[in-house]
Homo-oligomer: A and B are copies of this chain.
Amino acid sequence: LATIRDVAKEAGVSIAAVSFAINGTGTLSEETRKKILEAVGKLNYRPNASAKGLVSGKVNTIGLIMPKPGTDFFSFADNDILSGIGAVASKMGFNILLSWDQGKEESNALSLVREGMVRGLTFLLPSNDLDTYRTLNDMNFPFVLMSKPPEGSNCNWVDVDNMDAAYRATLSFIKAGHTRIGFVSPGPMEFLVSRERLAGYKWALLNHGLPYDESCVFEGIGNLESGRQAMQQFMALEERPTAVLAGANMLALGILEKCADAGLSCPLDVALITFDNSPLAMDYNLTAIEIPRGTIAREATNLLMKKISQPTRSEPESIIIPSEIVYRQTFTPSL
């Protein structure tokens, strides 16, 4: 691999001149610059990243911290998220380092920071271990969560408003005349996202004079069978829901299957809105709430870049990404 010294020799100049030419700094005659750039091209020279990092004290890498393997009751390593981060990062000349939250003594994230490997951090999911965030804040090290963090953690974050989205979907049912509405959570209630969506659902009911009935709520785990079980429970009720808000696509498909088995047609007998407008929702013509993961990822990375370029400590910021309901076959509001 060519070094700056090789280029300098090839072009017949000092290594400082090469540095100037490459970084566009200093003052160089057009002729010298051209001569140097030619040598650079000829030798396929690229400045060594370690040397640059050492001398400048800055490294052009951001870390992406994935949840501990096994936590994934949905798939987090979403293509949209990864390429969203990648698009923004590469536009700013940054690389992405992948790492996993290990729940070990010292978090991997902190190691990367202390080794000077990263200049900022994005977290896909809030860690259970809030200590990491506290330490990062103490160091004034920039980081952004791509998910709403638990109360009291002092973080930058970007996410959709899950409560609001659930509220609006439920409201949309109510406006269409539904008075008995089922809710299936996307996962266990320990997850904030489950609690927030439930809260939005509940709030819409109470706000419009409808009773909140626990038998119309099912704690899902995001798969087909769980959706079947939910609908099973709902159909066994004396007065069954005429509309269901599902927390995940697979839940929605399980619900549809049970409906079909029972001879209930959708949307006539049971209307359905599901979270997540994924390809699956499109394929199956499901009315779906768009969770724009690519946008979340891009905005989070932009926010991180902003925090990186502000060396002085600043207040944590959060960005709420709007989420739209995409109306399809399983429910359309009456006009």
Contacts and interface: CB of A to CB of B under 8 A. Distances in A.
A92 interface: no
A49 B117 contact: yes
A51 B59 CA distance: 12
Given A72-B79, A283-B225, A50 B98 contact: no
Nearest to A135: B44
Given A64-B98, A98-B86, A115 B69 contact: no
A213 to B, nearest CB: 29
Given A51-B54, A283-B224, A75 B79 contact: yes
A112 B99 CA distance: 18
Given A95-B99, A97-B97, A250-B283, A114 B82 contact: no
Contacts of A96: 97-99
A223 interface: yes
A104 to B, nearest CB: 10
Contacts of A98: 64, 82, 86, 95-98
A53 interface: yes
A117 B100 contact: no
Given A82-B66, A95-B99, A114 B50 contact: no
Contact of A90 (B72, B100, B114): B100
Contact of A223 (B59, B83, B86, B279): B279
A79 B82 contact: no
B97 A50 contact: no
A185 to B, nearest CB: 18
Most-contacted residue by chain B among A83, A99, A108, A225 (CB, 10 A): A83
A114 B54 contact: no
B46 A114 contact: yes
A77 B250 CA distance: 20
Nearest to A63: B95
Interface string A80-120: 00110011001000011111100000001001101111000
A82 B77 CA distance: 8
Interface in A47-70: 47-54, 59, 61, 64, 66, 69
Contacts of A75: 78-79
A262 interface: no
9 contacts: A47-B115, A48-B54, A49-B116, A53-B53, A66-B82, A72-B79, A75-B79, A86-B99, A90-B100
Interchain residue pairs A-B with the least CB separation, the first 8: A50-B53, A224-B283, A46-B114, A50-B54, A96-B98, A49-B115, A69-B83, A77-B79
